Structure 1
Amino acid sequence: MKKNRLNTLPPALPLSFLLAFFLVFTSCNDLDRSDVNYAYLGGEIINPTSEYLVIKKNGKVLDTAYLDDRNRFSLKIDSVGSGLYVIEHRPEFQNVYLEAGDSLLLRANTLAFDESLHFSGTGDTRNNFMAEMFLLDENNSDLLVSYYKTDPARFIEKTDSIRAERLSSLERIHEKHKFSESFLDLARKTIDYESYDLKERYTYLVNKYYDEYAAQISSNFHDYRKDVRFNEKTLQCSPAYKRFIGNYLINRSFLWCEKQNMVEEDCFDLSNQENIKARIKMAGNLLNVPSLREHFLTKLGSLGIILAESREDILDIIALLEKKGLSENAIQDMKKLGTIQLAFLPGTILSDVPMITLTGDQKPIGKIISRPAIIFLWSIYSHDHQEEHKMMEELREKYPEIDFIGINLDVGETSNWRMAVQKYGYDRNNEFQLASSSVENRFLQFYLNKLLFLDSSGEVVIGDTFQNSPEFESRILEFLNR
């Protein structure tokens, strides 16, 4: 990755000076922005999780910005095209909408990234609007909890009123700030697809849990699908758009499942291999924008592989991905992931896999466990690691005959792992980190929240369960009673 070209500001300069530094290129004498083909992006990351951030467009990294000793960054984007870009500071990411002539500053605290994010400078109004919409979209999970247990007519009334309110808010801000037509078009589509996504998620929930309401879904409930475009190039970086496509594929997979006369329970099991394969086939048939196609084929292929229960399952998924035209580089990644998954299959012996202790020693798993154990895999970069550890602490009390062992997957970041264990008060006797291996860290992240049930010899007994699986505790009982 290359260092940005403008990261030379003295660290003592205030953020307001950095803003003025940007504005001088675009504001002096009211320069005609039509003659400008670049944009500036900079700002400050409070409590950074790494020393840099990257900016992407359409799935490709455009540049890398390194933080200075005041956690500030700046970069110039040449030949900028109006549209959505992605700023990524692992594990956080955020969309920004850039146009030629923008001088945009952001400020965010990783302890509450989305809530603290704020933009200033040229282009700030549209990006603050987008950030606010993103937060509201995230909060729609709470809406579903409240409204999916109601009839379809009331749900439609609620979601349509939310959509109308957001469109109205967009128009009010546009009247004052005069957005470009390209941004208005994108913002309206984003609001539409978020509304569509709520209806897709409602469809899934009532079909799975509430037959009474499922029977009340009218023939025109899904009329919005007639307006859906699955290859919107301007939305290919939009989380709302991709979330809609993902949930649409889930619902369509159930229709496919019914036609195959599969057992209903298997139809609604999103970890079922046949269900995953059905979604891969549909994604391959529906999507032709390269970044969207690659995103969904890779996402679903990865899911199929890490949930595989046999070598044959892994080979079937890879063969299907090849048939659907996944790129060669991505196919090689899927093969590497498949090799890792072999270690999670029942019967695999893991007793020789090396671990790092909090004191810096290395021990194989076989020296760590002496009785049945459940290993949970976690990362300091996961937002949920505190909740995960809280759950494991409760299970330790509930099932004292089992050892619950945490293995950290942030290979090479031993000091950060130790600080996290100390900071959050995790059980020091049951915390280890995976030692250096030939496996790239980016592949290990697929296994966060996954569980390994090992017998006292280090043999995998159960390897297809996640912490958030609804059947987690029933698998523990199965493990105890085997």
Structure 2
Amino acid sequence: MVRILLGLIVLSTFGCANKNGECASVFFGGEIVNPTSDYVVLYRDDAYIDSVKLDDNNRFSFTLQGIDEGLYHFDHAPELQYIYLQEGDSLLARLNTVEFDESLVFSGTGSEVNNFLVEMFLAYENEEPQVYEYYPLPPEIFSKKIDSLREIKINHLNELVADSELSERALNMARATIDYNSYISKEKYPFYHKRKTGEETIHDLTGSFYAYRKNINLNNRDLTYFRPYFDFMKWHFGNISYMTCLKDCGDDQEAVSDRLHFNKHKLYLVDSLVAENEIRDILFRNIAVDYLLKEHNPSQECQAFIDKFNTLSSNEEHKAEIDHLYKGIKHLQPNNVLPDFKLKNTNNQEVTLKQIVGRKKNTVIYFWTASQKKPFRDNIKQVAELKKKHPDYNFVGINLKTSYPQWKMLVEEYNLDEKSQFHGENFKEIQMAMIIDKINKCVITKDTVIVDAFADLYTSL
């Protein structure tokens, strides 16, 4: 209800570009091949705007009046994708959920910038392994490689501008998807370089390496919920916090290895450099979640950090979420009883987690989703190997963020043991109960008692 009210407020307060007060309508529709849900839901930032049901031909359509120009996203569970909308757009999308992003194509008025955003997303996804191989290179060579890749995309954007009429805000969004994805690689560089080369010290990078920082806007309201921008902000504040702490708090690295100390640095820097309230609060939340998930163990230090977070954040929902997360971490400590929740088996019967793990003395619970195909395939192989090494263990797979029919199809396609595969419908409930923070996470139990709730499929067994 809160999201619906927010959406109505947003729509009612948007101004119209036309002087006579009549708002140009926006049409957004399309076709979804192999749908995984009955609905398409449209959001502006994190506010609900509208939802429509697919018709008998798997088509959908929105007609919107008086919307604000900018970035939206549409959700067809379990997938979502960005869409840029402005007055007068008449936009059609076609996609196949088997290859959601790869198959997504827009046509009609407003399609140019949207197809460009999809192209850039796929380009950076394809380049990721290549960029990873660049990290051992010296700073100046690495920088040239990244700049060269960026320049190719800038040239592509210039061609788009020459052939299409983009609004200033649409052009800025298109450029942002290029810039911030490229900048992320440079923010990562000192840490990935050290890891891949085995060097003991961080490179003293010259000002030219970070020259782009002079042009970044840490308070860009239009990009608050844009993933490349937010990911850049996370890496940027992590980088400058680390370097500042290394310089000012002792060169023996003791301070930067102290997670409480280091994450307080991040809170202070965000507090001092970011003025836009919503961006501040989202960054504060991210820092708090990251700190608690990596700490895992309740302590006075954790509580001190939460207290500091509460004084800085102005978002009451975030404060409640962090409090809930910390309580969840406390409940998942060794020798506590495993949380319980409902799942479904391949016969569409409801079972509880405790019923499943209570059958065996030793159980490893792991999680997977259809939207992350490579990690899913890798984890399935890893589980097969672990079953050989630990025949006395029961391995239970819980699927999340996938429709029940698609999950059943994948269980059959990959020849998974139906007796040990279960479907979770309520992702949020399961995520918070089991503190699912990474795709490799697993939970080791003895009967229904926790042995290690923060284990890793690749390192803990």
Taking structure 2 as the reference length, what is the TM-score of the superposition?
A: 0.82
What residue in structure 2 maps to residue 203 of structure 1? 190
Name the structure 2 match of 1:124.
111
- Matched with 2:8 is none
Deviation, structure 1 residue 392: 1.0
1:252 partnered with 2:243? no
In 2, the alpha carbon distance for the partners of 1:414 and 1:295 equals 32
Higher mean C-alpha displacement, 35-44 vs 212-221? 212-221
SS at match of 2:140: helix
CA distance 1:70–1:264, shift in 2 (3 Å): farther
Query: Are residues 146 and 307 of structure 1, via their aligned partners in 2, closer, same or farther at CA, if it must alter by over 3 Å?
Result: closer
Residue 208 of structure 2 is aligned to residue 217 of structure 1 = no
Q: Does 1:114 align with 2:101?
A: yes
The alpha-carbon deviation at position 351 of structure 1 amounts to 8.7
Structure 1 residue 238, shift from structure 2 partner? 2.2
Corresponding residue for residue 329 of structure 1: 317
Structure 2: unaligned runs, 5 residues or longer:
5-17
The residue identity in structure 2 corresponding to 1:175 is A
Question: 1:434, CA displacement in angstroms?
Answer: 6.3
8 A contact 2:113–2:174 mirrored in 1 = no
1:87-132 residue CA offsets vs partner (Å, 9 max, x unmatched):
2223322222212100011111121111111000101112111211
**Alpha-carbon distance in 2 for matches of 1:351, 1:232:** 41
- Residue of structure 2 equivalent to 1:227: 215
Q: CA contact under 8 A between 1:410 and 1:417: conserved in structure 2?
A: no
How far does residue 214 in structure 1 lie from its aligned partner after superposition? 4.6
Give 1:426's aligned residue.
416
Larger mean Cα displacement after TM superposition, 206-215 or 417-426: 206-215
Selected match of 1:53 from 22, 40, 56: 40
CA distance in 2, matches of 1:288, 1:207: 33
**Partner residue, 2:89:** 102
- The reply to whether residue 452 of structure 1 matches residue 452 of structure 2 is no
Verify the 8 A CA contact 2:70 2:85 in the aligned structure 1: yes
- Corresponding residue SS for 2:358: helix
Work out the CA distance in 2 between the residues paired with 1:293 and 1:109.
37
Match of 1:65 in 2: 52
> CA separation of 1:225/1:404 partners in 2, compared to 1, >3 Å: closer, same or farther?
same
Paired residues in the alignment total 438
Three-state SS of the structure 2 residue aligned to 1:368 is: coil
What is the CA distance between 1:391 and its match in structure 2? Answer: 1.6
Return the match for 2:334 from 346, 361, 376: 346
For the pair 1:306 / 2:293, whether they are aligned, the reply is yes
Q: Distance in 2 between matches of 1:128 and 1:414?
A: 30
Does 1:440 find its partner at 2:425?
no
Question: 1-side partners of 2:262 and 2:76: how far apart?
Answer: 33
Residue 376 (structure 1) aligns with: 366
* 2:11 aligned residue: none
User: Match of 1:20?
Assistant: none
Find the aligned partners of 1:249 and 1:352 in 2 and give their Cα distance.
37
Backbone CA RMSD of aligned residues:
3.5
Q: CA deviation at 1:182?
A: 2.5
Offset from partner CA, 1:222-259 (integer Å, 9 cap, x none): 12212221111222232221121111122123224424
CA-CA distance at 1:357 after TM superposition? 5.0
The 1:301–1:74 alpha-carbon spacing in structure 2 relative to 1, beyond 3 Å, is same
Q: TM-score, normalised by structure 1?
A: 0.79
User: Where does 1:284-299 land on structure 2 (aligned, <5 Å)?
Assistant: 284-299=271-286
8 Å Cα contact 2:27-2:62 kept in structure 1:
yes
Distance, in Å, in 2 between the alignment partners of 1:240 and 1:98 is: 18
Cα drift, residue 74 of structure 1 = 0.6
Contact 2:40 2:76 in 1 (8 A): yes
Deviations 1:22-58 (A, max 9, x none): xxxxxxxxx9999643311111122222221222223
- The reply on whether 1:463 has 2:453 as its aligned counterpart is yes
Q: What is residue 24 of structure 1 aligned with on the other side?
A: none
Distance 2:104 2:200 in 1: 42
CA distance in 2, matches of 1:446, 1:431: 20
- In 2, the alpha carbon distance for the partners of 1:235 and 1:203 equals 26
Change over 3 Å in CA distance of 1:125–1:416 after alignment to 2: closer
Find the counterpart in structure 2 of residue 6 from structure 1. Answer: none
Deviation at 1:180, TM superposition (A): 2.1
2:358 partner letter: K
Name the stretch that deviates more: 186-195 or 92-101.
186-195
Q: Aligned partners of 2:165, 2:343: CA distance in 1, in Å?
A: 58
Residue identity in the other structure for 1:118: V
Report the Cα distance in structure 2 between the residues aligned to 1:198 and 1:239, rounded to whole angstroms.
Answer: 14
Residues 348 and 195 of structure 1: is their aligned pair in 2 closer, same or farther, counting only changes over 3 Å? same
Residue 391 of structure 1: aligned partner: 382
Shift of 1:374: 2.3
Task: Quickly say closer, same or farther: Cα 1:445–1:293, change in 2 above 3 A.
Answer: farther
Q: Which residue of 1 aligns with 2:141?
A: 154
Query: Once the 2 structures are TM-superposed, how far is the Cα of residue 435 of structure 1 from its aligned partner?
Result: 9.6
Whichever residue aligns with residue 364 of structure 1, its letter is Q
In the alignment, structure 1 segments of 5+ residues that lack a partner are 4-30, 477-482
Q: CA deviation at 1:446?
A: 5.2
Identical counterparts, % of pairs: 28
